[in-house]
Structure 1
Amino acid sequence: MANTTIKTSITTPSKDQWIEGAARVGLTAKGIVYTLVGILTFTTAFKLSNAAKSGSKADVLQWIQDQPFGQILLGLTALGLLGYTIWRLIEAIKDTENKGTDAKGLAQRAAYLSSAVVYGALTFYAAKMVLGNGGDSGGGNDTRQTVAQKLLEQPMGQWLVGLVAVGTMAVGAYQIYRALSEKYRKKIKESRLDKNIKQLLISAGKLGYIARGIVWLIIGYLFLQAALQSDSSEAGGTSSAFGFLEKEYGSWLLGVVAIGLVCYGMFTFVRARYQPIHTR
């Protein structure tokens, strides 16, 4: 009996080990994408490189593919993004974070599900590129414009697009709130961080969440314009948001946001290493 008990205690934790592995690999892949988005956006904004048209996630995937051994690197990135997608789905469906079924909990789980959909689409796009069937790098914008167009075709379509706009801006505002309230720090076990770089990593996380929030706010604003003008071409993704920033406020502000996205990517690496991953 004692031997059975010991055996059970040893083997049980490994049952869901694949979920934790998928989460950590997925967070690493997400960190790579955001870091490259920030770097390529910064270099493009100041004409330091022509590596990307806009610094969108689709452009980043294209940049990875263009590197030596690009197909292999892109395939590994796609697998990482798939892991992230699966983890977010599990969080949404199994409620591994114990968010509950009240309004607040369901809203958080819906956010996990939304994240799974977004990164699932990015995984699919990366897989198509690996197989030689990838589209152009404007895919992110085209997808959002397609969504806006489909909604506009429905009864009360402008209101539906308006709701998407409000929801997207709410996500952006919440990202900034998480940064300023420092709630994002709950994502990691700070006690395990090296004391010499702890404050630098925490500050990077704050700047990163603010930058990400700004991008979400602009994407929401673009959807709002699509609703008000009943024109799906007004909607757009990250590349449109970057274009809006550069046009309205200049390359310097775009550069600051780009640096913030690099910081978000770096903090995501920290999450991949130090975030507690719940599997049940």
Structure 2
Amino acid sequence: MPDARNVPPEPPDATDGGGLGAAEVAEKIGDHPVLHALGRIGLVSYGVVHLLIALLAARIALGDPGRADKAGALQALAATGFGRVLLWVVALGLVALVLWQLAEVLFGHRGLPLAQRVRRTAVDLAEAVVFGLLAKTAADVAADGGAQPSSKPVPSTILELPGGPFLLVLAGLGITAVAGYAVYRGLSEAFLRDLDLRGAGLRRSLLVMRLGRVGWPALGVAYGTSGVLLVVAAVRYDPTQPVGLDAGLKALGAQPFGQLLLLVLAAGLAVFGVYSLFDARHRAD
């Protein structure tokens, strides 16, 4: 009978609790406090960007021909004293926020019914895409020192691809669907699922709820307008057609009572920006 003292120990098996498998390692990374801290910086950045968009939209309503979209807001941020450094911090925080959302996709909805899990996963993936695109824009603006991007707009590039109009219609419908869900999310208070308001106190909890009820529908209206413009540009097959959030806000401002509508929407986007700051503070881990 061999001496047990001379038998080398077997390597730990990731499936029997003796070690961590890839899924467990990924889950531990997704739950790491540093990632959550950076993700909260990303939520603060997201709020600041929308506060700047609200300011630019209000200026357009009052006659300023500037650019009221995420790139314009980031360029405005780059013009400040430590703007480029701040933009790199914004980009890093948003990348962390993308990783946080992906961790939620993989591990955050395990106990939910299948239909609800699919819906929540789709929302998390859509938000991860939004945060990822914004992170890239922030990094590009920071690298360019806040200069106006010289590259061709993405919708124009898509239109020039084989099947470009069809792809742009899909993109526009997708943005419109996400925008519609943002409106629903605010009106139904579904945003409360992402928050942990325990210990926040009654007054702050009510404030956050009211901010979300107003801010999320305003966000949906703003981006829904840009989604509709994408579909219109694709149907007309016009690569020069202005599209995006900036074009959507300006189109809204050109309507009857457009100045008032744009000011109201700017106020709503500002509310969403403030809500995002509270979201960073009270986002459930």
Contact conserved, 2:186 with 2:217, CA < 8 A, in 1? yes
Give the aligned length.
257
Between the aligned partners of 2:239 and 2:277, the Cα distance in structure 1 is 35
Q: Distance between the aligned counterparts of 1:220 and 1:68, measured in 2?
A: 34
Quick one: structure 1 residues 106 and 165, their matched pair in 2 at CA, closer, same or farther if it must change by over 3 Å?
same
Is contact 2:78–2:145 with CA below 8 Å preserved after alignment?
A: no
Compare relative contact order (CA 8 Å, sep 6+) and give the higher one, 1 or 2. Answer: 1
> Are 1:215 and 1:241, in contact at CA under 8 Å, matched by a contact in 2?
yes
- State the identity %: 27
Correspondence for 1:244 among 229, 242, 251: 251
Q: Give the counterpart of 1:21 among 37, 48, 51.
A: 37
Which of 66, 70, 73 pairs up with 1:53? 66
CA distance in 2, matches of 1:137, 1:114: 25
Match of 1:3 in 2: none
Length-normalised TM-score, structure 1: 0.79
SS in 2 for 1:234: coil
| 1:225/1:235 contact within 8 Å kept | no
The answer as to whether partners of 2:233 and 2:243 remain within 8 angstroms in 1 is no
| Alpha carbons of structure 1 residues 224 and 124: separation in structure 2 relative to 1, 3 Å | closer
Alignment of structure 1 residues 131-170 onto 2, 5 Å: 131-132=143-144, 136=148, 142-150=153-161, 153-154=162-163, 157-170=164-177
| Corresponding residue for residue 120 of structure 1 | 132
1:225-245 deviation line (CA, Å, top 9, x unaligned): 123212344362111111111
- Match of 2:78, as an amino acid? Q
Show the 5 A alignment for 1:61-210.
Answer: 61-92=74-105, 94-98=106-110, 102=114, 105-132=117-144, 136=148, 142-150=153-161, 153-154=162-163, 157-210=164-217
Residue 41 of structure 2 is aligned to residue 34 of structure 1 = no
Q: Retained in 2: the 8 A contact 1:172–1:213?
A: yes
| Distance in 1 between residues matched to 2:228 and 2:249, nearest whole Å | 13
Label 1:228 to 1:132 Cα distance change in 2 as closer, same or farther (>3 A).
closer
Bigger Rg over Cα:
2
Query: Which deviations, in whole Å up to 9, do the C-alpha atoms of 1:38-69 show, x marking residues without a partner?
Result: 1222133224xx5x812211111111111122
Asked if residue 214 in structure 1 is aligned to residue 221 in structure 2, the reply is: yes
What SS is found at the alignment partner of 2:93?
helix
Following superposition, the deviation at residue 138 of structure 1 comes to 8.6
Q: Supply the RMSD in Å over aligned alpha carbons.
A: 2.9
The letter of the residue matching 2:79 is: D
Preserved CA contact (<8 Å) 1:54 1:242: no
Counterpart AA for 1:66: A
**TM-score scaled to structure 2, two decimals?**
0.78
**Structure (1 or 2) with the greater helix fraction:** 1
CA distance in 2, matches of 1:227, 1:108: 30
